[in-house]
Structure 1
Amino acid sequence: MIKNKKLITAVLAIVGLVAIVFFAFSLNNSKTQSVEADQKASKVVSKNTKKAAKAKPSPKKDLDEWKHPSESKDYPDLSKYPDAYIQVSIADQKVYIKDGKDTLYTMKAATGEKDSPTPKGTFHIQNRGDSFYNTESKEGANYWTSFKDWGVYLFHSVPTDKDGKYVESEAHKLGQRSSHGCVRLTIPDAKWINTSVPEGMKVIVE
């Protein structure tokens, strides 16, 4: 009987020791997993922080861009560039003042819509005027300069209404095909072409 009691006591001691070891192992393993999880979370946060730091905010379009020259630099002095010409890129929605392969100045533009496209080809500067208003399209513009059909296809400012006021909803469309076939420009860009580009200058629309 005493032997049995000793045996039972020994077994209980062993079971208790195993339980203690198992509990200690489980606790340690839980802490390890918690640390690893914290480290992974820290890495994720770190990566997201780096991505956020690298991400640049999308530039906001300047809603008043139609009131200003397209570039901050001065317009070119065409007296120094006797072979200069104008290149209109429908794909880029830009007007380039070129001298050979060199671009002297770049202007934001809006060419004709698909159902009233700006004609492609090689033309030349023709007549010009201060302003006009078309009763059919119910739009006008300032500083117009013709490059085809003597007053039909023009460089001009963003549109005006019948009272001569600029139509801001249309002015904000620089950079997209939105005209009736003419080439819309900012007010200062249109004025510069109107007052500075000589008659006969080559115009390439492509």
Structure 2
Amino acid sequence: MSDTISSEPEPGLRERKKAATRQALHEAALRLAFEHGPENVTVEAIADEAGVSRRTFSNYFANKEEALFYGDLRRMRLLAGMIREQPAGSSPWQALTAAAEGFYRELGDLDPEWVARSRMVRRHPSLAAAQVQTFTALEREISAEVALRLGAGDPLGVRAQLIAATFLAVLRVSLNVWLEHRPDVYYWDIARDSLADAGSGFE
């Protein structure tokens, strides 16, 4: 799975350097987790692997879990950006589904390293909890986008939060099913059908 999709303007040199450092820490965390198991990885080891100080690590991530899941967070933020770009006349669920389809089709096949890491996450409850936290952060962002489309019809924001939570749950469960049972098919084929079923109550 690539991190190359972006509709954001080209960042300046300072921002590119910061992004490169953050990515280097993320990749170092992944390498060490694969080699030694995530429970045996320390922040100090990640910093050493990336060639930076412990203090530099702390400038980018609060803990090793954040470093491990930075790729997921970045990809999901790109998805949130694609949701914002959907036509104003689309219903919330239509916008979410269309954005997801464009996002996953542009990403193409999920790369083996990403798949291996996802399976690793499932074997470690502490990492699974961190993954849920990552999705929770994105749920708030997506909920805000949905709320804009619902407008005055959802004054307390309950429906927006429900739609966003359901959308992300469908993507997460579809991924789990794909990892466990259907690696022979394209992930989006499972997610698309699941989104269609779940979205029937929101149209």
Both structures adopt the same fold (TM-score exceeding 0.5) = no
Whichever structure has more strand as a proportion of its residues is: 1
The structure showing larger relative contact order (alpha-carbon pairs under 8 Å, at least 6 residues apart) is 1
What's the TM-score bracket when you normalise by the shorter of the two chains? under 0.3
Q: Which has the larger radius of gyration?
A: 1
The structure whose residues are more often helix, as a share, is 2
For normalisation by structure 1, the TM-score amounts to 0.23
Scaled by the length of structure 2, the TM-score of the pair is: 0.23
